[in-house]
């Protein structure tokens, strides 16, 4: 299997992030949502203004994923933030993890998640948590195979559509 390269996003790469974020979001959810809801999400949540603001947050980091020199995905981590988005030392939120569809099912997603586990170990995190759409069955199975368990639910507003996200978490043994 090919090995991916994961690099922390730099300020001058925000437009690259926006491009891959929009493509992967539409690939993942476009056929299950209305055009109006998708348009609203893309222009509200994945605008350059929003991404620049997210980039500036002290406890957040974006990473770009490459297969050779081709950008194939990205991920975003938030440090020391719990389910209620309050400061909670030792928690890592895996807020976004996306790969182009043509690269899914080839082990690249596992490499990305292993990268997150390595960061959690280095940060001496106690928990990794995430939200995943209840209808994203493949992602849910992937997370369950990697030790995540459902611990709750919350509403994710996609445009005008309130959707249910499962909150999942995995405890981290930082002694390894």
Over residues 51-88, the pLDDT tens digits come to 999 999 999 999 999 999 999 999 999 998 777 766 77
**Each residue of 96-118: pLDDT tens digit?**
999 999 999 999 999 999 999 99
Residue-averaged pLDDT of the chain: 93
- Asked whether the beta carbons of 58 and 43 are under 8 A apart, the reply is no
Mark whether 74 is an active-site residue: no
37 in a domain, yes or no? yes
Order the strands of the 70-81 sheet from edge to edge. Answer: 5-8, 60-67, 70-81, 87-99, 127-133, 161-171, 149-158
Residue 173 lies in a domain: no
Is residue 2 scored above 90 in pLDDT?
no
pLDDT digits (tens, 9 = 90+) for 156-166: 999 999 999 99
Point out the catalytic residue in the list 41, 98, 103, 143. Answer: 143
Q: Which domain holds residue 119?
A: 5-128
28 assigned to some structural domain: yes
What is the domain-level CATH number for residue 46? 3.40.630.30
Residue 134 lies in a domain: no
Assessment of whether the complete model's pTM goes beyond 0.75: yes
83 in a structural domain = yes
Per the domain annotation, does 135 fall within a domain? no
Note whether residue 137 is domain-resident.
Answer: no
In a domain, 124, yes or no: yes
Q: What is the number of domains present in the chain?
A: 1
């Amino acid at each position: 299997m090919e090995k991916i390269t994961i690099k922390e996003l730099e300020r001058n790469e925000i437009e690259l992030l926006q491009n891959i974020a929009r493509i992967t979001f539409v690939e993942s959810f476009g056929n299950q949502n209305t055009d109006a809801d998708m348009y609203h999400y893309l222009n509200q949540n994945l605008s350059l203004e929003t991404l620049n603001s997210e980039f500036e947050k002290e406890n957040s980091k974006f990473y770009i994923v490459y297969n050779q020199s081709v950008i194939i995905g990205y991920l975003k981590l938030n440090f020391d933030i719990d389910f209620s988005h309050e400061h909670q030392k030792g928690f890592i939120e895996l807020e976004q993890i996306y790969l182009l569809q043509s690269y899914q099912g080839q082990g690249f997603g596992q490499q990305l998640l292993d990268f997150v586990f390595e960061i959690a170990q280095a940060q001496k995190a106690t928990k990794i948590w995430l939200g995943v759409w209840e209808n994203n069955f493949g992602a849910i199975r992937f997370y369950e195979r990697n030790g995540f368990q459902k611990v709750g639910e919350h509403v994710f507003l996609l445009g005008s559509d309130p959707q249910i996200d499962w909150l999942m978490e995995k405890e981290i043994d930082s002694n390894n």
